[in-house]
Structure 1
Amino acid sequence: MTFLVKLELQLKLTGLWSPSVPSSIALASKAPFACDTLAFEQWLQFIFIPKMQQLIDMRSPLPDQMAIAPMAQQVWQTKPEKQDVIVLLEQFDQLITHSK
């Protein structure tokens, strides 16, 4: 099972997967993590996962560094039920950073 599939599954298990797509305006945000228009979990679902999948499908280079887990830790610092998602993101950050 790939990381992206694991992340999607974990988002669904923790009730963070949304059945409705945000507006095109919300998805077009230029702010880091689209924090001005999307919840962090929406950014993961509608921007991060599709973008990473696109890079993989096109066999494009992945980023040299990734630091998504710190944002997850900040957003969900008072929500221990989100810890499994944070752990996955920490693993992904390490995988990307240490694979170069």
Structure 2
Amino acid sequence: MNTQIAESLIDIEAQLRQLGQWEKASPEPSALVSDQPFCVDTLTLPQWLQFVFLPTLYAMLRDGRELPQGCGIAPMAEEYYRGTGLSSSELVAVLMRVDELLS
């Protein structure tokens, strides 16, 4: 399963890059310590994926730590991208795969 998760994380990054939503600069450190789900008060969903979700899961995989026992990111992504005009279906599909693997 860890290999499938790692492959999915790579796919998430690729999809964010394809959508033009991969950022070169990190947000301010204070934006990363929000206590709100998905850091909705300080980051956009793509920023949260890039600067919180991906690094956290990569570190967990690298360190051999137990992965979360549940995940529900795909519905958040569907809502975030609704009406944006961006072709986000492949990103949402990868996030669904991650949700399934971690649930």
- Using structure 1 for the length normalisation, give the TM-score: 0.92
Query: What letter matches 1:18 in structure 2?
Result: E
Contact 2:73 2:99 in 1 (8 A): yes
The ranges of structure 1 where at least 4 consecutive aligned residues each deviate by more than 2 angstroms after the TM superposition are none
Measured in 1, the distance between the counterparts of 2:28 and 2:16 equals 20
In the superposition, the TM-score normalised over structure 2's length comes to: 0.89
Equivalent position of 2:3 in the other structure: none
**Match of residue 30 from structure 1:** 35
2:15 is aligned with 1:10: yes
- Please give the secondary structure, in 1, of the residue aligned with 2:92: helix
Q: 2:88 aligns with which of 70, 78, 82?
A: 82
Please give the root-mean-square deviation of Cα atoms over the aligned residues, in Å: 1.2
Unpaired runs of 5+ residues, structure 2, are: 1-5
Distance 1:15 1:42 in 2: 12
Percent identical among aligned pairs is: 33
How many positions carry a matched residue from both structures? 97
Structure 1, unpaired ranges of 5+ = none
User: Deviation string for 1:60-97 (max 9, x for gaps)?
Assistant: 01011100111101111223511111111011101111
